[in-house]
Amino acid sequence: MPKRRGWPRTESWAVHLLTASGAAFAVLATLSAFESNWTATFAWLGAALFVDGIDGPLARTFKVEERVPWFDGAILDLVIDYATYVFIPALMLARADIMPPLLAIPAAIAVAVIGAIYFADTRMKTVDFGFRGFPAVWNAVVFVLVAFALPPYAGAALIALFLVLTFTPVEFIHPFRVRQARPLTLTMTLAWAVFALLAVLADLKPSAAILWGLGISSAYLALIGAFLQAARLWRRRSASSA
């Protein structure tokens, strides 16, 4: 009998179904947002984020693209990512009283539109699989705004900053795919996930210790890409001037 090669299509479809389950979490998060239940909203978005973190490695491990070449898992992933990373957080900006009243809806529209533009930009990925410009992780930004209960105008300033950074060449790290500083980045990503979960379990009223952990890990993930980019440019200039 011929030797069986690779994984059968059932396993490939299981990975696609796992990715598609993010759509179910998006619906549940939207329903929770309409009820102004922000703890539940972030819980469902967290579940979608977990799925998004594991479906890519599973797809590469099982060589899903080779097994079902006519089904584009990347497009499926982008559709769900837009809903959970951009659209639902934009909806929260409009409804959650975390922005100045006059800026809430304009900010939500700006996030939704600019996030859509970013997702369509084929230059978003760098050669080492990082991101060029702010990678539209508005779910994390809005979560930090709610967890820290920042004053509305401080929140508006932070939203404006990341909207501007979307169109800049500043790099942001991919927690799983960028090899440089990967052990530390994975550790900080896990720390962020743990502190975020603790904040949700605390009904978005976290203790000072949780806020410290969330703040430090958030700052690392937001800045490490630009730091590595600057270090790389500095090494190139030093080598060219030597």
Q: Write out pLDDT tens, residues 153-171.
A: 999 999 999 999 999 999 9
Q: Is the pLDDT of residue 2 over 50?
A: no
96 or 66, which is more confident? 96
3: confidence class by pLDDT, cuts 50, 70, 90: very low
Q: Write out pLDDT tens, residues 31-70.
A: 999 999 999 999 999 999 999 888 777 777 767 776 667 6
Looking at residue 8, what is its pLDDT?
A: 52
Spell out the long-range contacts of 8-16 with Cβ–Cβ below 8 A and sequence spacing 24 or more: 8/67, 9/67, 9/68, 11/62, 11/67, 12/62, 12/64, 12/67, 12/68, 13/68, 15/55, 15/58, 15/59, 15/62, 15/64, 15/73, 16/64, 16/68, 16/71, 16/73, 16/76
Q: Write out pLDDT tens, residues 118-130.
A: 999 988 889 888 9
Looking at residue 69, what is its pLDDT?
A: 73
Looking at residue 1, what is its pLDDT?
A: 39
Looking at residue 62, what is its pLDDT?
A: 65
Q: What is the mean pLDDT of residues 71-83?
A: 85
By percentage, how much of the chain surpasses pLDDT 90? Answer: 73
Q: Is the pLDDT of residue 20 over 90?
A: no
